[in-house]
Amino acid sequence: MTYSSAVAYLYRLQKHGIKLGLMTITALMVRLGMPQTRYRTLHIAGTNGKGSTAAMAAAVLQAAGYRVGLYTSPHLVEFRERIRVNGEMIAESRVAQLTEQLQALCQPDLSPTFFEYTTAMAFQHFADSGVDVAVLEVGLGGRFDATNLIAPMACAVTTISLDHQEYLGTTCSSIAFEKAGIIKPAVPVVLGRIDLIRALGLAGIDSVVVASPDDPAQADQAHKTRVIAVWVVSKDHSFTFPP
């Protein structure tokens, strides 16, 4: 399979549209050997700003000396922009190889969407590339997004407003519920300019520690007690804490 034929095949999958849910991607990851468990991850959702937040997080980690995978969508010019390791786009030959591998693994009963295919490709490429950490941008929503198979070290929700209402609901409350679906027990959360208590309440979370960035012990205690440690970031990037 060539790169051009692989990308043509992947683009043809877009005609099937969006199918939110984790059953297909979970089955595919099992067949791949669960590559997403072989490195640490950060998970970023939100209506606006999640792509730039992911890119900045990846840049900071790379500057700190880590080998970093970055998965974002959509691409601007070329498909390979979606999957990067230390800033370098996935090679054309790898796209072709992984597309062929995934096609074989999907037989005879799995029919992944375009985004499920590309997410699986990113998970496997990061594992094969030996990344220390991967920064993953949610594609749509969060709760049933294909990226939501990971157990992240931390996650972020940048903003919440009306978007993709045909899939996520017609109110900010319903959309917040979907995006808050990436929040996991004992995993620190960074929030943008959103209603902290309302967002967490919609996610069914009632045990919260608002942790100071100057006191890592607070986050450590939250982890030990399996509640949520939250950092709230304002528009000027300063930290604020509700009473």
Q: For the segment 80-110, what is each residue's pLDDT rounded down to a tens digit?
A: 999 999 999 999 999 999 999 999 999 999 9
Query: Could you give the CA distance from residue 178 to residue 46 in angstroms, rounded to a whole number?
Result: 10
Q: For the segment 8-56, what is each residue's pLDDT rounded down to a tens digit?
A: 999 998 776 667 779 999 999 999 999 999 999 999 998 778 899 999 9
Q: Does pLDDT of 232 surpass 60?
A: no
pTM of the model: 0.80
Give every CB contact of residue 78 below 8 A, 6+ residues apart in sequence.
89
Signed CA dihedral, 201, 205, 211, 213: sign only: negative
SS3 (DSSP) at 115:
helix
